[in-house]
Amino acid sequence: MRTTGMLLAMALFIGTVGLSHESGAQEFENPPGWAWLIQPMGTSSSSWSSNGVLGENRETCAGGFELTVALRKTEGSSYRAVAFDIEGGRHELTGYGGSSGDLTMMTYSAPPENLSYNQVAFAGIEVLSAEGWPVASEEAARRAKASGITTLPLPQVGENFEFEVVGSNGFEVNNTSFAGKVVIIDCWATWCTPCMKKMPKLKELSDRWAEQGLEIIGVNFDQDQGKAFKTITELGLNWKHIAVPPSAEVRKAWWEVSGISTLPRLLVMNKSGVLVYDGRQIEEVEGVLIELLGEPGNR
């Protein structure tokens, strides 16, 4: 907790570059779409500040490597820490954390069985900007297809939204099946409080515009599909639901291709198959439906 407070407090005053230890002399390549926010630097010193980011690395009690960073995030961008071992091997670290105002603090780590503290030679921070997302998504989609994984594509408002997804529950959906209809894609999970809070309103929209041909596709991210199916039945969510397989490999592919990392996520396609809305507010979706389908008659 002391480290967290110090980093967030110090980040308020970031404005200059000041490395507290040596920078890596060698060049490190990025995957497609990604770029270095902080070039990998040697880890001989425990703390550094550079490019508006504060960092501190340490050895965990179990002998693993841990890196805590404080930064100001840019809307639409994603960040991750990457470590390089003494043989040049690349390791993308797992992170967790939170935000305070416009500041974000993340702690990234690797289990000691994968990467011990003494094996780490360099560590840096990568950023995937809004401009880089399409490039990274395209490359991730090729990898997913080669592995037999289907996901939604990266949502881009104003573009055709073409997809073919097979869920672990055996259901399959594709955009051609809904030609000429307005479609809502609802990404949700039972553990997501905002997801469940909006369900009565989503069901209301389904009922109100049913005669105009509105279609809804549910994309469920529950680990326990039995719980999800029970909820679907109890709430009468009588539209098709795709169950995203719970394996870590599949979930990572979904994030890398579609960028869907937080729930709920609501997508709306018009009758021509063009994505016209990408957001989280069911009230905004209602406004979009009025624009696309007109006010439904009183029933």
Q: At what angle do helices 282-293 and 193-208 cross, to 10 degrees?
A: 20
pLDDT surpassing 50 at residue 257: yes
Residues 139 and 144: their CA atoms lie apart, in Å, by 9
pLDDT of residue 43: 85
Average pLDDT over residues 116-127: 94
pLDDT of residue 297: 61
pLDDT surpassing 90 at residue 202: yes
pLDDT surpassing 50 at residue 17: no
Strand order in the sheet with 35-42: 35-42, 120-128, 78-85, 90-92
Average pLDDT over residues 258-279: 96
User: Higher-confidence residue: 9 or 174?
Assistant: 174
pLDDT of residue 76: 84
pLDDT surpassing 60 at residue 1: no
pLDDT surpassing 70 at residue 9: no
pLDDT surpassing 90 at residue 103: no
Average pLDDT over residues 63-91: 93
Residues 59 and 62: their CA atoms lie apart, in Å, by 8
pLDDT surpassing 80 at residue 45: no
pLDDT of residue 18: 32
Nearest to 269 by CA among 177, 134, 135: 177
pTM of the model: 0.84
Which amino acid does the sequence have at 124? G
Residues 261 and 44: their CA atoms lie apart, in Å, by 34
pLDDT of residue 26: 62
Nearest to 138 by CA among 252, 256, 251, 219: 256
User: Higher-confidence residue: 298 or 136?
Assistant: 136
pLDDT digits (tens, 9 = 90+) for 122-148: 999 999 999 999 999 999 999 999 999
Average pLDDT, the chain: 89
Contact by Cβ (8 Å): 123, 66: no
User: Higher-confidence residue: 236 or 10?
Assistant: 236
pLDDT of residue 8: 41
pLDDT surpassing 70 at residue 249: yes
Average pLDDT over residues 244-273: 95
Nearest to 251 by CA among 217, 216, 279, 223: 223
pLDDT of residue 298: 46
User: Higher-confidence residue: 16 or 28?
Assistant: 28
Q: What angle do CA 109, 223, 191 make, to 5 degrees?
A: 90
Contacts of 77 (CB under 8 A, 6+ apart): 127, 128, 129, 130
Taken in order of first residue, the domains within the chain and their CATH numbers are 2-128 (2.60.40), 149-293 (3.40.30.10)
- Tokens 């009922």, located at residue: 207
pLDDT surpassing 60 at residue 179: yes
pLDDT of residue 24: 41
pLDDT of residue 102: 81
pLDDT of residue 169: 80
pLDDT of residue 268: 98
What percentage of the chain reaches a pLDDT higher than 90? 76
Task: Count the Cβ atoms, other than its own, within 10 Å of residue 176.
Answer: 10
Residues 170 and 90: their CA atoms lie apart, in Å, by 36
